[in-house]
Amino acid sequence: MLEGHYDAIVIGSGFGGSVSALRLSEKGYRVLVIEKGRRFRPEDFPETNWDLRRWMWMPKLGMRGLFQMSFLDHITVMHGAGVGGGSLVYANTLPEPTAAFFKSPSWAHVADWQSELAPHYRTAKRMLGTTQNNLMTRSDHVLKSIAGDIGRPEHFHMTDVAVYFGEAGKKAKDPFFGGEGPDRVGCTYCGACMTGCRVGAKNTLDRNYLYLAEKKGATILAETEVTAVRARASGGYVIEAQASFGSARSHKLTADRVFFAGGVMGTLPLLLKMKEDPEGLPHLSDRVGDFVRTNSEALIGVISPEPSENFSKGIAITSILHTDEHSHIEPVRYGAGSGFFRTLTLPHSPGPTVITRLAGAVRGFAREPVKWMKALTVKDFAKQSAILLYMRTLEGTLSMRLGRNARTGFQVGLVSSLTEGSPAPSAFMEEATDLANRFAEKVGGVSMTLLTETLLGVPSTAHILGGSVIGKSAKEAVIDGHHRVFGYDGLYVVDGAAMSANPGVNPSLTITAMAERALSLIPAKSA
């Protein structure tokens, strides 16, 4: 049992938690980071996502990997676990949102976010090793062709990514922090970024922020899940935690400051649990769990039956096409052999009911049965599949509370509900379908989506945000403009749960920049 007092305890080691760990350590604080997932070395990652034990996070079933799926009533969420959080499984891309994000009425009244965050975006890009992808792949050539077809060739470009390219497969001394960071290995374009980089080229958080934080004295306690955070009458907080798997190990710690950084799927359940606990944090804002949002995205797979096609070469996301000022699409890939999602897909068939969707799928199969049979029986599903990620800045929110339902295994967990007056999340967007059809036509393929979309009409997201949003008072929000929790001195939320508008792009860079700003407002311990 680990006991003791820390100046600061950080719950979670993703983009917000890793920034918190480093900046607090630099300011002289004694810091402990608690992470429910494992610490991974490159060789610990699975070779393909068929190795469920090393890829999927379901510890009760012996799966102790880096990837999670959570099935809620209104959304299917894909998220990460492990030292480095979502950086272990994300697709490396680091775009900045447009001005509309910073001016969104949901939080623009609190600060001039675009100007205040600008220097922190620059810091985040430097720390994450941002560079531009340098390889045009088969998917990129197809997408560029579509850009010309729709009259927007100038709106196609390569992505900014967190990858060390260097000399493929060759080890090099730290190229990012003047030799203070770990050695790196040049990218081999294997496409396996999202199953864990076994090469050592992906700039995951354990290779920058967390690595440097540990050198500054921060302690990382992995394979441990925080179960309670309670205010002490004498000031500060008591933190209770237990082993994520494998033992009855538990810990009871104290800290002057606590930073919630477990992502929406980690931070919200803990805050909601503590709000219901009279001895926990009962005075939290009633807005905890409100204004949960996504990037309003659609994920559509295109499978080509042609054995000569290879969409797996490259990094996870290589290019982007802006279809208008609010929307864009990106080609995504898994490495060759990582075809697990074959088991979770059905034909993409938009429609208002399951009957119309299934009827549409049957009609599509009947029109081209040979193509469909070949596509559904390809030998290497990942190699012959391109995933199209469509995102837009449309706002729509959900509320989340603790409850029981079939999708949480009737255990207490997050359950979603629609926000009155807000559009419901949609699994089917007309432009996304059109773009997928154009892509499929060019490669002689067919379109697929997760079965939860075809059967249930429930959309999927890899970017769950909000639920502990920023505002000027506890009546409208959970935290203030400095990320401080209303009503509790020394509590902070510094992860995607604090995102108070839809950025419309991969949010990792923005979460990092927001965390950099929040931590810059905390004085050094000596002060």
3-state secondary structure of 332: strand
Give 175-184 contacts, CB < 8 A, sequence gap 24+. 175/129, 176/129, 176/203, 176/208, 177/208, 177/212, 180/212, 180/215, 181/207, 181/208, 181/211, 181/212, 182/207, 182/211
Per DSSP, the residues of 117-143 read HHHHHHHHHHHHTEEE-----HHHHHH
| DSSP 8-state code for residue 96 | P
- Placement of tokens 């599509």 in the chain: 364
CA–CA gap between residue 190 and residue 425 (Å, rounded): 33
Helices (H) and strands (E) in the chain, counts: 12, 27
CA–CA gap between residue 287 and residue 469 (Å, rounded): 8
3-state secondary structure of 76: strand
Task: Select which of 120, 328, 463, 483 is catalytic.
Answer: 463
Q: Which of 435, 208, 480 is nearest to 323 (CA)?
A: 435
CA dihedral 496, 501, 505, 509 (to 10 degrees): -40
CA–CA–CA angle 85, 513, 425 (5° rounding):
65
CA–CA gap between residue 185 and residue 166 (Å, rounded): 7
Q: Which of 319, 253, 280 is nearest to 402 (CA)?
A: 280
Q: Are 505 and 96 in contact, with CB atoms under 8 Å apart?
A: yes
Would you call 175 exposed, middle or buried from its count of C-beta atoms within 10 A (0-12, 13-18, 19+)? middle
Per DSSP, the residues of 403-462 read E--GGGTTSSEEEEEEPTTSPPP-S--HHHHHHHHHHHHHHT-EEEEEHHHHHH---EES
495 sits in which H/E element: none
CB atoms within 10 A of CB 10: 30
Strands 3-11 and 250-260, sheet pairing: parallel
Give 291's contacts (C-beta < 8 A, 6+ positions apart). 106, 397, 399, 419, 466, 467, 469, 500
Rg (C-alpha) for the chain, rounded Å, is 22
- Placement of tokens 């190990």 in the chain: 249
Q: Are 186 and 170 in contact, with CB atoms under 8 Å apart?
A: yes
Catalytic residue at 463? yes
- Residue numbers annotated as active site: 463
